[in-house]
């Protein structure tokens, strides 16, 4: 990563590393707007003939913001596991982003409650007629998967996923805040010791959550690599999001001289690396399914090559991979926070398109065409408003830097060569 020199700045717990009071107005407005747009989205959903469109649109926006916080949940323990020091000055922002898993768990009720009430607008496997032997609509494959894909086990798994994620998020965050007060180095050692378990739990839960909430939208489809594909999206969206947040904080006079172009450079390298990784996994999944030519697997891609979805796939190929790959490749771009933030915004837009491509073709089954509209906009703004509001709430009156972390000086002194 490079050598170190004596830092020229000392971090103290003062107003330079805390949010300005003006952000509280943003918090209130974001929450009010978020609730209003969510209610509007639900109203539009009720008025539509196909009620499933709202649930698919809501799931798209929900998983979009969830993936950003899951990326943060990966970032924090993996750096403790690696005993890395460069990331300390940006780690608190990631810790705050993890906390949004709490309000997201409550928003998930919009998806979970209809499933518990017997709705199959979102998940076909919840239709009891498909699992009755000899019935008119009996589906042998779905019946075979019914011990796993049923409303009860689905709910239990969702509780386990969110329980595990929130526990990891709170464990690392509360101990980090505790260290701000005590300066106890043992806290860092304990977090390092337990980070391996956190990473394992993260890997398992995120993989199966992607199976449950995304892959099972088409219960006939198989892809063992899908969990890795979803993880790649989580990572690249997180690094884009934290870049934007750090840019906004510095534009407001916070973390100036603390987060430097060296840290942006490293975040840019991660963004570049996971963009490449996403492209590799996406291509691997497509190639293996195309080459095997098994009907149960190819049907998923066939649906996304008809009715206009092929254009979305091509747009993704260039927008999610080739364009940002060459855009963020340059060292000069990664060390320029304005340029890097611009690319981060572009990447976040493309990440939404990626999730839209995964989820929305399932609406209307055989003849569903891309129809991005007002419902989608309201769901995105609604969940986004709640997400931003809760992020500001968690950050209120908290230092934006772990001020007594034993590796803080190492992070302040970061130099890339």
Model pLDDT for residues 259-312, shown as the tens digit of each residue: 999 999 999 999 999 999 999 999 999 999 988 888 878 889 998 988 889 999
Please report the pLDDT score of residue 367 as a whole number: 60
pTM reported for the whole predicted model = 0.95
Q: What counts of helices (H) and strands (E) characterise the chain?
A: 17, 0
More confident residue, 336 or 299: 336
Length in residues, the chain: 417
The mean pLDDT of the chain is: 93
Q: Residue 121 gets which letter from DSSP?
A: S
Residue owning tokens 């000392």: 10
Please report the pLDDT score of residue 3 as a whole number: 46
Where residue 414 falls among pLDDT bands split at 50, 70, 90?
very high
CA dihedral 127, 133, 135, 140 (to 10 degrees): 60
Burial degree of 199 (CB within 10 A; 0-12, 13-18, 19+): middle
Taking 3-state DSSP, the helix, strand and coil percentages for the chain, each rounded to the nearest 5, stand at: 75, 0, 25
Residue 175, Ramachandran bin (φ over 0: left; ψ between -120 and 50: alpha; else beta): alpha
Residues 86/2, Cβ–Cβ less than 8 Å:
no
């Amino acid at each position: 990563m490079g050598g170190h020199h004596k830092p020229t700045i000392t971090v103290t717990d003062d107003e330079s590393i805390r949010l300005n009071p003006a952000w509280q107005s943003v918090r209130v407005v974001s929450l009010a707007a978020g609730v209003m747009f969510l209610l509007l989205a639900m109203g539009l959903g009720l008025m539509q003939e196909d009620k499933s469109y709202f649930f698919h649109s809501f799931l798209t926006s929900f998983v979009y913001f969830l993936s950003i916080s899951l990326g943060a949940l990966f970032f924090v323990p993996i750096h403790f596991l690696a005993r890395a020091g460069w990331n300390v000055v940006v780690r608190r922002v990631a810790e705050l982003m993890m906390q949004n898993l709490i309000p997201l768990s409550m928003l998930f009720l919009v998806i979970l409650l209809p499933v518990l009430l017997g709705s199959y607008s979102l998940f076909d496997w919840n239709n009891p007629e498909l699992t009755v032997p000899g019935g008119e609509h009996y589906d042998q494959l779905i019946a075979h998967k019914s011990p796993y894909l049923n409303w009860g086990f689905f709910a239990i798994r969702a509780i386990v996923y969110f329980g595990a994620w929130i526990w990891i998020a709170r464990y690392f965050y509360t101990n980090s805040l505790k260290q701000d007060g005590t300066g106890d180095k043992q806290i860092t050692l304990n977090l390092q010791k337990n980070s391996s378990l956190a990473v394992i739990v993260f890997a398992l839960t995120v993989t199966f959550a992607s199976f449950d909430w995304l892959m099972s939208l088409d219960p006939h489809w198989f892809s063992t690599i899908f969990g890795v594909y979803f993880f790649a999206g989580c990572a690249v969206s997180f690094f884009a999001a934290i870049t934007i947040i750090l840019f906004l904080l510095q534009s407001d006079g916070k973390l100036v001289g603390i987060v430097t172009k060296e840290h942006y450079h490293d975040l840019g390298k991660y963004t570049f690396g996971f963009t490449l990784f996403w492209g590799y996994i996406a291509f691997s999944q497509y190639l293996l399914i195309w080459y095997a030519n098994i009907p149960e697997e190819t049907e998923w891609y066939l649906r996304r090559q008809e009715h206009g979805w092929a254009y979305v796939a091509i747009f993704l190929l260039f927008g999610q991979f080739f364009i940002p790959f060459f855009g963020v490749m340059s060292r000069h771009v990664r060390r320029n926070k304005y340029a890097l933030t611009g690319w981060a915004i572009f990447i976040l837009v493309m990440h939404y398109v990626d999730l839209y491509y995964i989820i929305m073709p399932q609406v209307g089954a055989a003849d569903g065409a891309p129809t991005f509209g007002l419902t989608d906009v309201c769901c995105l703004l609604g969940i986004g408003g709640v997400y931003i509001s809760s992020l500001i709430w968690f950050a209120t009156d908290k230092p934006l830097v772990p001020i007594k972390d034993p590796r803080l000086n190492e992070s302040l002194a970061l130099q890339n060569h």
